[in-house]
Amino acid sequence: MSQTYSISELAKALDVTPRAIRFYEEQGMLSPERRGQERVYSSRDLVALKLILRGKRIGFSLAECKELIDMYDPTGGNAKQLNRFLEKITERRGQLEQQMLDIQQMQLELDTAEERCRAAMERIP
């Protein structure tokens, strides 16, 4: 029998709130079994939540995380999922590189504005 988790066990294990777990469940990203009022999460839910949290840390949207989770196939080796994940990583790197260029450009513009302001202040009697 595979490992199962209560919502509080899952929340504690991954340092998230039960509310966050319920939110991901509402989004269709987690699918616990129900035993009366109790939610029972599987190892698959644990892995999915880990993927969600990792995806958030590296800047993926919830839709992108859901896409990757939905591609999970424990019997198929997950080659499609992993290839898509690599594509998403490449896309994210490109976005970050563009953001770094944008930040560098903004810093140059700030430097120019600052220099002009300081020069103008020196001319004020």
User: So what's the pLDDT on residue 1?
Assistant: 58
CATH of region 1-70, choose from 3.30.470.20, 1.10.645.10, 1.10.1660.10, 3.30.70.20: 1.10.1660.10
Residues 35, 5: contact at Cβ < 8 Å? no
Beta bridge partners of 4: 42
CB 64, CB 90: distance < 8 Å: no
Model confidence at 125: pLDDT above 90: no
Q: Kindly report, residue by residue over 18-63, the tens digit of the pLDDT.
A: 999 999 999 999 999 999 989 999 988 998 999 999 999 999 999 9
Q: Where are the domains of the chain?
A: 1-70, 75-125
Q: What is the mean pLDDT of the chain?
A: 93
Closest by alpha carbon to 7, among 36, 44, 45? Answer: 45
Pairing of strands 4-5, 33-35: unpaired
User: How far apart (Å, rounded) are the C-alpha atoms in residues 121 and 114?
Assistant: 10
For 81-94, how does the pLDDT look when each residue is reduced to its tens digit (9 = 90+)? 899 999 999 999 99
User: What torsion, rounded to 10 degrees, do the Cα atoms 107, 111, 113, 118 define?
Assistant: 150
More confident: 78 or 20:
20
Q: What is d(CA 55, CA 88) in angstroms, rounded to the nearest whole number?
A: 10
